[in-house]
């Protein structure tokens, strides 16, 4: 009887320790994820300036739907996301294929291409802001010195060049990371497939299209999914480099929300309105992700 009671107490202590260890992550999730989400959801129905709150129902959402700047920010976010994917993914694949061969100095090139991802995005934004300065920037110095332009130009002065610059910097910083993932996928492709293709007379382009890319299908899906999610949440680079300018031409969903929530220059504090924009942004991100999941699943079923 005493032995049975001892075993029960030991079992109880074991279960208690297990539940305690499991409960810690859930507690952190509730505190740092669930509670902020519920807070945002609640105040999206309020006119809230950080001090006073009054219930306004769906008025914040109605104002948001009628705000042209918000829809411009949504469009810019999609351009940055899919523009970066359209340019960055093929480049990452190209460099991965080249550096997967017996290229001399490939370790150096892999390291050099991977290095930018280790730098903080905010630091990257500051560095490029200095480099692109119209009077003292090194890029304008090179353009004028080589005779390409007669006088310094401000590359970020128009919405088109600002978005293009952001896309190029995005691609530059993320190229090495995506290349490394693709390199990992290339290591898993059986060499027998390439040898058989060579015997059949397939050239390098045909081997790339009909062997390499199909074999990398799952890895490319992961890279594109990560690119979509990260691109739709882009903030650091835009906030530091362009601040959504000129004339909201490079504004994104997150910078739009940030400006209203933290009362940036030219904006008044509207935490309730920013909360409603956060809810809509979450829905847009979820919708785009869901569409991609459906399309990728259909493509996978046809393979």
- At 265-274, the pLDDT tens digits run 777 778 899 9
- Burial class (CB within 10 angstroms; exposed 0-12, middle 13-18, buried 19+) of 92: buried
pTM of the model: 0.86
> Cα-flanking dihedrals φ and ψ of residue 273, to 5°?
-65, -40
pLDDT of residue 202: 83
pLDDT digits 0-9 by tens, 15-52: 777 778 888 888 888 888 888 888 888 989 988 877 78
Q: Where are the domains of the chain?
A: 2-43, 69-302
Q: How far apart are CA 71 and CA 65, in angstroms?
A: 8
- The pLDDT value recorded for residue 279 is 93
pLDDT of the residue at 251: 93
- Each of the 303 residues of the chain gets a pLDDT tens digit; together they read 566 666 677 777 777 777 788 888 888 888 888 888 888 889 899 888 777 888 888 999 999 999 999 999 999 999 999 999 999 999 999 999 988 887 788 888 888 999 999 999 989 999 999 998 888 888 888 888 888 888 888 888 889 999 999 999 999 999 999 999 999 999 888 888 888 888 888 888 888 888 888 888 889 998 999 999 899 999 999 999 998 888 889 999 999 999 888 877 777 778 899 999 999 999 999 999 889 888 887 766 555
Phi and psi, residue 103, nearest 5°? -70, 135
For position 50, what pLDDT does the model report?
Answer: 76
Nearest to 181 by CA among 225, 213, 223: 223
* Cβ neighbours, 10 Å, residue 96: 24
Cα separation, 216 vs 223, whole angstroms: 10
Pick the closest to residue 174 from 114, 129, 86 (CA basis): 114
Secondary structure (H, E, C), the chain: CHHHHHHHHHHHHHHHHHHHHHHHHHHHHHHHHHHHHHHHHHHCCEEECCCCEEECCCHHHHHHHCCHHHHHHHHHHHHHHHHHHHHHHHHHHHHHHHHCCCCCCHHHHHHHHHHHHHCCHHHHHHHHHHHCCCCCCHHHHHHHHCCCCCCCCCHHHCHHHHHHHHHHHHHHHHHHHHHHHHHHHHCCCCHHHHHHHHHCCCCHHHHHHHHHHHHCHHHHHHHHHHHHHHHHCCCHHHHHHCCCCCCCCCCCHHHHHHHHHCCCCCCCCCHHHHHHHHHHHHHHHHHHHHHHHHHHHHHHHHC
The predicted pLDDT at position 2 comes to 62
CATH number for 69-302: choose from 3.40.50.410, 1.10.287.90, 1.10.3720.10, 1.10.940.10. Answer: 1.10.3720.10
Phi/psi for 48 (5° steps) reads: -125, 125
Q: Could you tell me which of 171, 197, 193, 206 has the C-alpha nearest to residue 95?
A: 171
Instruction: Report the distance separating Cα 283 and Cα 251, nearest Å.
Output: 18
Confidence at residue 133, expressed as pLDDT on a 0 to 100 scale: 86
């Amino acid at each position: 009887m005493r032995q049975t009671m001892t075993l029960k107490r030991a079992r109880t202590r074991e279960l208690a320790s297990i539940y305690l260890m499991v409960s810690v992550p859930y507690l952190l999730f509730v505190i740092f994820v669930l509670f902020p989400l519920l807070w945002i959801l609640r105040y999206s129905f309020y006119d809230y300036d950080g001090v006073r709150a009054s219930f306004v129902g769906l008025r914040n959402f109605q104002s948001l739907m009628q705000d042209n700047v918000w829809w411009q920010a949504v469009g810019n976010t999609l351009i940055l996301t899919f523009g970066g994917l359209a340019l960055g993914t093929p480049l990452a694949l190209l460099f991965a294929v080249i550096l997967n061969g017996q290229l001399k100095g490939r370790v150096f090139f892999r390291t050099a291409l991977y290095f930018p991802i280790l730098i903080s995005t905010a630091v990257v934004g500051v560095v490029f802001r200095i480099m692109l300065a119209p009077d003292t920037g090194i890029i304008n110095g090179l353009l004028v010195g080589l005779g390409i332009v007669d006088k310094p130009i401000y590359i970020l002065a128009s919405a088109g060049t600002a978005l293009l610059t952001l896309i190029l910097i995005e691609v530059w910083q993320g190229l090495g990371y995506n290349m490394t993932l693709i390199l990992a996928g290339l290591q898993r492709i059986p060499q027998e497939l390439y040898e058989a293709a060579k015997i059949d007379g397939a050239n390098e382009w045909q081997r790339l299209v009909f062997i390499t890319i199909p074999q990398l299908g799952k890895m490319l899906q992961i890279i594109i999914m990560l690119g979509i999610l990260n691109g739709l949440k882009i903030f650091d680079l835009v906030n530091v480099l362009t601040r959504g300018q000129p004339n909201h031409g490079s504004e994104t969903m997150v910078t739009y929300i940030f400006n209203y929530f933290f009362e940036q220059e030219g904006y008044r504090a509207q935490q309730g309105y920013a909360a409603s924009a956060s809810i809509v942004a979450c829905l847009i991100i979820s919708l785009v992700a869901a569409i991609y999941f459906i399309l990728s699943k259909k493509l996978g079923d046809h393979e």
